[in-house]
Structure 1
Amino acid sequence: MRKLVSAAGLVVTLAASAACGSGGGTGAAPAPATPTTATTPANPATPATTSAAPSSPPPTGPNVSGCFTEADGKIFEYGGGLPGVIAGTGSTGVVITYERRGNVCAWRPLSDRLVAAGYRVLLYARSAVAAPGDTTVAMAKRLAKEKGVERVFLAGGSIGATVAATAALELGPDRIAGVVALSGEIAPEDAAKLTVPLLQVGSEHDDYGGRAALDAARAAATKSPDAQVLVIPGERLHASELFASPYADQVLDTVETFMNRHKG
């Protein structure tokens, strides 16, 4: 069962299930998911290990990890030749930072959903040694310079979710529309400083970003105008594993609804 808490103190319990970074779903059919609303932000940070194999034959022209090409958007390079892509044409941007040992390909379901909903989405391959927080800030600044982009959401999985929150603190509410953290751990002290909307999504038994960590960050996020938590009970799915689970539509619907509410 999943519990959603509103700022008014209403608790709604919904059926749901998923699995964490090490995998292992229950096989039960997912029930519609509803996020927990409260005036508290969270702090995500950890690695995920999901990657999707690109379709064959692999592209020969400019591409990102073989699964985003110029047909999807503008391919760019940064940091000495690492690739990224900016897809969509909307005035609200989204920077996605994947989990450690992850891959941009596994985040295509979220990118495609947001592009279809009118967002401009930046995904990028990142160095295993570069500080992900610094790169997330740099990517947000890059996307904000694109013609027509007015504000930017920061989204991520595991460590990518954790640094989305710290990057939002660095960039400030004038630039950042909100934070979407999938399977991350946001330190309560960071959550307490957030003044932008925060959505955390995770599964109950995830080793990084499980129920206890998500609830602690939400409870601390008292300055956030809208702190929501969606916990899938009984599962151990981690970060992009959520998109390959029976709860994919539930997670994608929750993220899109949250962003639509706060894009301004």
Structure 2
Amino acid sequence: MPLRSFLGAVVVVGFVLAGTAPAVAQPKTELHPCVPADLREDAITFKAEDGVELPGLVFGSGSSGVLLAHAQLETVCEWLPLARQLADDGHQVLLYEMRSMALKENRHSYDLDVLGAARELDSRGASSIIAGGAGTGATAIATVAEKIPGLRGMFLLSPFRAFQTQSADLNAVDNIGAVRVPSLVIAAQDDAVESVGLPDHARDVAGAASNAKLEIVPGSAMFGELTKDAALRDRIRAFVRENKASPTFLDRWLMPIAGGVVLLLLVVVGVVVLRRRSRRNTTTVADVSAGS
């Protein structure tokens, strides 16, 4: 069975069985083995809204934050190229591993993961956030968009109208209209998970939003696969750039002011050193004259 068909079948089975399948105990979620060793050394951990501990990767710094939430059957690795590019664009990017499906409690509460990640970005100095995700990650973002601090926009790849199990009720259509921030909703025209036509889901999500642009692109890529296309990554980067918060006074002038203060201190130190040397030389000349 081709990998794509296999993944599609797993998604469909997940919708049916997720709420009833027995869970295997797992103390915490781990970063996927695909993450390079050099990135693992700098990995962070943070807590979701219900206390579940999640690992994440932070790229860049600054007050303009970007939150990335992958789909249920993806890993963070599909999003690494986009995360690095967004960081190069001057944003602080948090890419995290959503909670394991093996957790006993709140197995599919991906909305709580999103809120925990947003709080982590906020604690790291991000005063504004663009939230982006795919599949269940996108659906979770749209569900809790109203609660994300400093939200400036959303980009949602192949979102579901809703993702419902016994332990979670994520509904993008019912909740995305609660915020008026710009949204970019993208799906591939031939994308379908078995009998689930994701372009139709995307159309409904965009239609329920108060300020959304829908893009149905050629091909059959699903979820984070869409970010493999360089042109689409550039489109997302442009969306983030256009909708990030304007720099605050502190952001705009902190470095010039700090540089000016350092320069002034160097001048003051230089003047003090020169005066001390001048006094020392004067004292030496005076002593020599007195000895003569």
TM-score normalised to structure 1 length: 0.66
How far 1:67 sits from its partner (Å)? 2.0
- Contact map agreement 1:203 1:237 (CA 8 A) in 2: yes
Is residue 215 of structure 1 aligned with residue 200 of structure 2?
no
Cα distance in 2 for residues equivalent to 1:200 and 1:73: 34
Aligned to 2:80: 108
Equivalent pairs counted in the alignment come to 198
The unaligned stretches of length 5 or more in structure 1 are: 1-20, 24-45, 48-61
Q: Secondary structure at the match of 2:153?
A: strand
Query: Which structure shows the bigger proportion of residues in helix conformation?
Result: 2
Q: Which has the higher contact order (CA 8 A, sep 6+)?
A: 1
Whole-Å Cα distance in 2 between the matches of residues 201 and 123 of structure 1?
19
Does the Cα contact within 8 Å between 2:185 and 2:215 map onto a contact in 1?
Answer: yes
Q: Which runs of 5+ in 2 are unaligned?
A: 13-29, 102-106, 162-171, 246-292
Equivalent residue letter for 1:214? A
1:156 pairs with 2:137: no
Deviations 1:67-120 (A, max 9, x none): 255658842124566421111013211111111121111111211111111111
2:150 maps to what in 1? 175
| Segments ≥4 residues shifted beyond 3 Å | 62-66, 68-74, 78-82
Contact 1:202 / 1:209 at 8 angstroms: preserved in 2?
Answer: no
- Read off the aligned partner of 1:191 and give its amino acid letter: I
**Counterparts of 2:89 and 2:216 in 1: how far apart (Å)?**
24
Deviation at 1:261, TM superposition (A): 0.7
Instruction: Compare the two structures and name the one with the higher strand fraction.
Output: 1
CA RMSD, aligned part only?
2.7
Answer whether contact 1:110 1:252 (CA < 8 A) is retained: yes
Amino acid aligned to 2:75: N
Counterpart position of 2:113 = 135
Greater C-alpha Rg: 2
- Give yes or no for the alignment of 1:236 onto 2:258: no
Structure 1 residue 165 corresponds to structure 2 residue 125: no
Note the C-alpha offset of 1:154: 1.1
Aligned-residue identity in percent: 24
